[in-house]
Structure 1
């Protein structure tokens, strides 16, 4: 069953997206990399910035408040649920969007690995 509280959090996060999240979303949306992404997708008990359901891939865009033990615990919980997590700093998205997108495309590139991402 879907958690309505988590759904509301996801809606708020979509509405209040950072400039970097909006910029990366423009690069990921509409299957731009050959894979569909959702933004602010609930993965209980968390909400991922971006998620490719088919590849079980999460992409997080982090500001200065990130990079601590909470993020490590979040990544571990998502990995235990079968998700692979990629993290990029805001400045990477701002200064090297092409490199970030290329890195995500590289991970998505070998579809034969997608099954292994769920283990």
Structure 2
């Protein structure tokens, strides 16, 4: 995923990797567009993710969760979804 996002490669969007925000460390975040991308891996727990997502949404962030298999095999679909999300206003807190 980082290969797709680093150095403003995706439409000039500035993403940070492993960025701290509040009590959390986000896989990837674009602060300008208030967009968070979480790569699915072995360390995600649905209950904790729900609490984290609620906290982020209350702060006005979009969250896009991407399974690792999609990142490896369907990266074009993830890119399309990211561009769709950043073109949409963030949820109101």
Task: State the TM-score, normalized to the length of structure 2.
Answer: 0.87
Q: Give 2:6's aligned residue.
A: 29
Which structure 2 residues correspond to residues 59-98 of structure 1 after superposition, within 5 A?
59-66=37-44, 68-98=46-76
Give the RMSD, CA atoms, in angstroms. 1.5
Distance apart, 1:66 and its partner CA: 2.5
What CA distance in whole angstroms lies between the structure 2 residues aligned with 1:52 and 1:65? 22
Partner of residue 103 from structure 1, selected from 81, 90, 93: 81
Q: CA deviation at 1:77?
A: 0.7
Answering whether residue 24 of structure 2 is matched by residue 46 of structure 1, we say yes
- Is it true that 1:117 corresponds to 2:90 in the alignment? yes
| Structure 1 stretch displaced more, 62-71 or 37-46 | 62-71
In terms of mean alpha carbon deviation, does 37-46 or 25-34 score higher? 25-34
Higher radius of gyration, 1 or 2: 1
Runs of 5+ in structure 2 lacking a partner?
Answer: none
Whose helix proportion is higher, 1 or 2? 1
**Alpha-carbon distance in 2 for matches of 1:55, 1:65:** 26
Find the residue that maps to 2:90 and give its secondary structure. helix
Per-residue deviation at 1:65? 4.2
Aligned-residue offset at 1:41:
0.8
Shift of 1:44: 1.1
TM-score (norm. length: structure 1): 0.69
Give the whole-Å Cα distance in 2 for the aligned partners of 1:118 and 1:36.
Answer: 20
